């Protein structure tokens, strides 16, 4: 019951105890335990910014818990489109719902909602800021497939500079004794803020531009997209892009046990011919999103403990 009614806004608010608890309970949910953990409850699924993937994942999780869902999938059909303040919209929906899940394009929107709502608020992404349940499902997939997180060697690849998913995952992994490989073009390296954070947590890390050199070392390779728009010079982009695309040409530089993860959607960074490779776990990872979110809902409801 410790986490009953808790808001889940940012990874910064959470500690290792919570993460360990969530991982364990997600496993139990996946094994069929804790059904109907939100039976009779109303969960509001408020997507002020569209996101099919995340919305359908949450909606599936809500159905799994036995709760009823209310909500919307774009701001165009919401009251805020008519000039109402976000606070008032949330205060009203707070009257209807037992738990509020929300995605918003503005950084800090979920925090603001949590301040005015009595119901617990789960941040399903606020602009370029936080998207904690993505990190939870990433972490759970590693935990489940590798039998734990301690002592793993994990590659984070792609746009480490701007990638929200990468930043959150790096912070979450820092609660554990892992060794990180930071794989990116030099202009898209992990910002010094996060490097300092890793240092402060005494996390061992390696900075490299080429995953093929260290692929055999990796337990996990977590890939993200490199956006062409990040490069002032398109020629520069073309020069590096290929090095961060996994295909039949380079996949064997990974070990046979390296799992490949990706937050999705992907464009070219993993070739579709890789999808049938047993190491490709990104769709499996998406499925874990449902279990992770169902577990989180039941924990916040106070019914999973």
State residue 155 phi and psi, 5-degree precision: -95, 130
The answer to whether 142 and 290 have CB atoms below 8 angstroms apart is: no
Residue 287 known to be catalytic: no
> What is the spatial distance between Cα 165 and Cα 139, in angstroms, rounded to a whole number?
11
Instruction: Give the integer Cα–Cα distance in Å for 62 and 301.
Output: 12
CA dist., res. 150 & res. 20, Å (int): 12
User: Which residue out of 103, 153, 167, 225 is catalytically annotated?
Assistant: 103
Residue 50 CB, shortest distance to a copy of itself, in Å, is 5
What is the distance between the alpha carbons of residues 293 and 139, in angstroms, rounded to a whole number? 13
Q: At closest approach, how far in Å is the CB of 223 from a copy of itself?
A: 14
**Residues 283, 129: Cα–Cα separation, whole Å:** 24
Q: Give the range of 26-34, 106-114, 241-249, 264-272 binding a copy of itself by CB under 8 A.
A: 264-272
Nearer to a copy of itself, 59 or 180 (CB): 59
DSSP state for residue 254 in the 8-state scheme = S
Shortest Cβ 268–a copy of itself spacing (Å): 11
Q: Which is nearer to a copy of itself, 164 or 266 (CB)?
A: 266
Based on CB atoms, which residue is closest to a copy of itself, 272 or 305? 272
Q: Which of residues 85-104 bind a copy of itself (CB under 8 A)?
A: 87-89, 91-97
User: Other CB atoms closer than 10 Å to residue 262's CB: what's the count?
Assistant: 24
One of 55, 104, 112, 131 is an active-site residue; which one?
131
Is 105 an interacting residue with respect to a copy of itself (CB under 8 A)? Answer: no
Closer to a copy of itself at the Cβ: 207 or 241? 241
Q: Which of 21, 60, 205, 247 binds a copy of itself (CB under 8 A)?
A: 60
Which of 24, 39, 53, 204 is flagged as catalytic?
Answer: 53
**CA nearest to 227, candidates 128, 141, 154:** 128
Q: What is the three-class DSSP state of 72?
A: strand
Q: Are 204 and 179 contacting, i.e. CB atoms less than 8 angstroms apart? A: yes
Q: Which residues belong to the active site?
A: 53-54, 82, 103, 131
Residues that bind a copy of itself (CB under 8 A): 42, 44, 50-53, 56-57, 59-60, 63-64, 68, 70-74, 76-79, 81-84, 87-89, 91-97, 264-267, 272, 275, 283-284, 286-287, 289-290
């Amino acid at each position: 019951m410790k986490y009953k009614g808790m808001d889940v806004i940012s990874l910064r608010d959470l500690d290792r105890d919570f993460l360990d608890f969530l991982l364990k309970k997600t496993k139990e949910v996946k094994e069929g335990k804790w059904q109907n953990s939100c039976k009779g409850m109303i969960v509001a699924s408020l997507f002020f910014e569209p996101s099919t993937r995340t919305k359908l994942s949450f909606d599936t999780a809500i159905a799994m818990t036995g709760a009823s869902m209310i909500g919307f999938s774009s701001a165009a059909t919401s009251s805020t489109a008519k000039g109402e303040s976000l606070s008032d919209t949330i205060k009203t929906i707070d009257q209807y719902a037992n738990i509020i899940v929300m995605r918003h394009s503005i950084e800090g929107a979920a925090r603001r909602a949590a301040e005015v709502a009595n119901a617990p608020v789960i941040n399903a992404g606020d602009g370029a800021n936080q998207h904690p349940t993505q990190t939870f499902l990433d972490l759970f997939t590693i935990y489940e497939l590798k039998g734990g997180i301690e002592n793993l060697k994990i590659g984070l690849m792609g746009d480490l500079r701007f990638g929200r998913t990468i930043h959150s995952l790096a912070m979450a992994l820092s609660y554990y004794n892992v060794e990180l490989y930071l794989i990116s073009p030099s202009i898209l390296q992990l910002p010094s803020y996060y490097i300092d954070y890793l240092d402060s947590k005494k996390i061992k890390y390696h900075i490299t531009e080429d995953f093929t050199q260290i692929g055999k070392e990796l337990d996990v390779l977590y890939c993200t997209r490199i956006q062409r728009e990040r490069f002032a010079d398109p020629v520069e982009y073309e020069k590096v892009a290929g090095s961060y695309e996994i295909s039949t040409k380079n996949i064997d530089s990974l070990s046979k046990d390296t799992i490949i993860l990706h937050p999705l959607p992907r464009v070219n960074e993993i070739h579709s011919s890789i999808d049938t490779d047993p190491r490709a776990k990104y769709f499996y990872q998406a499925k874990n999103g449902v279990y992770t979110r169902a577990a989180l809902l039941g924990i916040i409801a106070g019914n999973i403990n």
